[in-house]
């Protein structure tokens, strides 16, 4: 048992990862303590979370929701401090009493809070994969400079982290991330043109936020994860692969130079990787039951058809191109997915928008962080210009 509880800051507390994280913390109150939470709006839900966990540092990004919360101080535990906007997220990330910051906000907004946490010497548990896709080399270099750990929360990366422990980098031939195939895994290709947001949000195995669920349907999620893995584990692009595995029980395969493979298995629930990241290197009992071997089940693997999932092919291309190309891939994808979810873009146009933007963007061989952020903004502008005009 640790001498004192590990103090956790949770950015993105009202989302899907946030909910699973709160379950893990509630199941391990002897080892973990939630000290700060943040979300975009939904201040009443944040207040309820603060009351349940006795949290007195609360971040609310949206101005309107922040004003409403300030007008209702009785909803929060006595002495609660409210933090607004991006600066509020940064303040929470460097909270003096915190040991670990879990970043689980959607998209790249979490980059600055993540860098603030690293600079303040906090360990980082990273769910927001877009951060490493945008700025992987900078985030990893900062973590090394400040001697902090980056603990992967994404299930596949958490699985790789577990399989790699104790093995020298030179012994690793490649890693293979498993992909469920998303909502359209079993759809005939000709039906995809009609796919609606409601169809894409019906994920067969995982319950997650809307953006990542659409990314699962295009396999952009796996593309983003390959780029994320490259940075987290210091691998070359050709050492990162993906395989279709419909059951989502095996989360990765790590192949060593002698041809042996290690895999990590657990039920498809994020409490497993979240618990591992929050409590590493301890392994107390799980938040949920382990995989049952009392009933028969099969594990199936098949190659991913990249013709059917162009977002995976594009991810591989931007990994090889390097520079600001992964940032542009991610930025254009964020814009296209938001437009698809808003009913403004057909499903099959998501990869078309991303491919068009990538073709338009200049290549930047070794950009600094400012150039990468500029490329991100430029790719967003260009992607928006390729969306169909909004209905009057
Ligand atoms: P979600 O949409 O369910 O929740 C997002 C959370 O971020 C919410 O709490 C929301 O309030 C908060 N947020 C959004 N914008 C914000 C802002 N401007 N300021 C403060 N908070 C803000 O999303 P999710 O499924 O929980 O995913 C979160 C991240 O974790 C994503 O980057 C996703 O790729 C990654 N991830 C999720 C899963 C999963 O199972 N859900 C698995 C692996 C990785
Ligand atoms: Mg994942």
Each residue's pLDDT tens digit, 312-348: 999 999 999 999 999 999 999 999 999 999 999 999 9
**Residue 61 Cα: closest atom of ligand 1:** 19
Domain end among 153, 183, 210 = 153
- Band (pLDDT 50/70/90 cuts) for residue 389 is confident
Lowest mean pLDDT among 1-10, 219-228, 354-363: 1-10
- Of 153, 169, 203, the last residue of a domain is 153
130 CB less than 6 Å from ligand 1? yes
Task: Give yes or no for residue 1 having a pLDDT over 50.
Answer: no
Indicate whether 94 and 170 sit together in one domain. Answer: no
CA of 56 to the centre of ligand 2 (A): 31
> How does pLDDT run across 23-76, given as a tens digit for each residue?
999 999 999 999 999 999 999 999 999 999 999 999 999 999 999 999 999 999
Cβ–Cβ < 8 Å for 138, 371? no
Strands (E), the chain: 6-11, 32-39, 57-60, 81-84, 100-103, 123-126, 150-152, 172-179, 240-244, 250-256, 261-265
Report the pLDDT value the prediction gives residue 380, as an integer from 0 to 100: 98
Q: Is 373 in the pocket of ligand 1 (CB under 6 A)?
A: no
The string of pLDDT tens digits covering residues 78-107 is 999 999 999 999 999 999 999 999 999 998
User: 94 and 139: one domain?
Assistant: yes
- The answer on pLDDT for 390 being more than 90 is no
Reported as a pLDDT band with limits 50, 70 and 90, residue 288 is very high
- Going across the sheet that includes 32-39, the strands are 81-84, 57-60, 32-39, 6-11, 100-103, 123-126, 150-152
Which residues span the domain enclosing 195? 157-269+297-385
Residue 370 confidence (pLDDT) above 70 = yes
How many Å apart are CA 355 and CA 344, to the nearest integer? 18
243-254 confidence digits (pLDDT tens): 999 999 999 999
Between the CA of 295 and the centroid of ligand 1 the distance, in Å, is 34
Residue where a domain stops, chosen among 103, 133, 153: 153
CB distance 18 to ligand 1 below 6 Å: yes
Provide mean pLDDT across the span 347-362: 97
Same domain (yes/no): 134, 248 = no
Do 111 and 244 share a domain, yes or no?
no
Q: How many domains, in total, are found in the chain?
A: 2
Q: Which atom of ligand 1 is nearest to the CA of 206?
A: 40
**Residue 141 pLDDT more than 70?**
yes
The mean per-residue pLDDT over the stretch 190-209 comes to 93
163 and 208, same structural domain?
yes
Q: For position 118, which CATH number holds?
A: 3.40.50.720
Residue 274 resides in a domain: no
């Amino acid at each position: 048992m640790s001498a004192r509880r590990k103090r956790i800051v949770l950015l993105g507390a009202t989302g899907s990862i946030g909910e699973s994280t709160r379950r893990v913390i509630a199941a391990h109150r002897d080892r973990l303590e939630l000290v700060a939470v943040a979300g975009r709006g939904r201040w009443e839900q944040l207040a309820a979370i603060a009351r349940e966990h006795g949290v007195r540092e609360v971040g609310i990004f949206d101005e309107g929701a922040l004003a409403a919360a300030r007008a209702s101080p009785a909803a929060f535990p006595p002495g609660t401090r409210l933090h607004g906007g991006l600066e509020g997220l940064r303040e929470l990330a460097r909270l003096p009493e915190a040991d670990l910051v879990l970043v689980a906000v959607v998209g790249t907004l979490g980059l600055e809070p993540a860098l603030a946490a690293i600079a303040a010497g906090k360990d980082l548990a990273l769910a927001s994969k877009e951060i490493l896709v945008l700025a992987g080399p900078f985030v990893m270099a900062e973590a090394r400079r400040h001697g902090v750990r980056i603990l992967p929360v994404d299930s596949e990366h958490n699985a790789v982290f577990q399989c790699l422990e104790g093995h020298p980098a030179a012994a690793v031939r490649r890693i293979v991330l498993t992909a469920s195939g998303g909502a359209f895994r079993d759809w005939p290709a000709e039906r995809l043109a009609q796919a609606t947001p409601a169809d894409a949000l019906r994920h067969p195995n995982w319950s997650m936020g809307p953006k990542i669920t659409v990314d699962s349907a295009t396999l952009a999620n796996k593309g983003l994860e390959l780029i994320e893995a490259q940075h987290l584990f210091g691998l070359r692009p050709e050492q990162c692969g993906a395989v279709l595995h419909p059951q989502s029980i095996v989360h990765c395969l790590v192949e060593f130079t002698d041809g042996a493979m290690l895999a990590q298995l657990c039920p498809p629930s994020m409490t497993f990787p979240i618990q591992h990241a929050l409590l590493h290197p301890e392994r107390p009992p799980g938040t949920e039951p382990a995989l049952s071997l009392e009933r028969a089940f099969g594990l199936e693997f098949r190659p991913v058809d990249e013709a059917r999932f162009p977002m995976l092919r594009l991810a591989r291309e931007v990994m090889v191109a390097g520079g600001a190309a992964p940032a542009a891939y991610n930025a254009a994808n964020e814009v296209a997915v938001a437009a698809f979810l808003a009913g403004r873009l057909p499903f099959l146009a998501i990869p078309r928008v991303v491919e068009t933007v990538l073709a338009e963007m200049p290549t930047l061989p070794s950009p600094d962080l400012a150039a990468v952020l500029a490329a991100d903004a430029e790719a967003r502008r260009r992607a928006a210009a390729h969306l169909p005009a909004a209905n009057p």
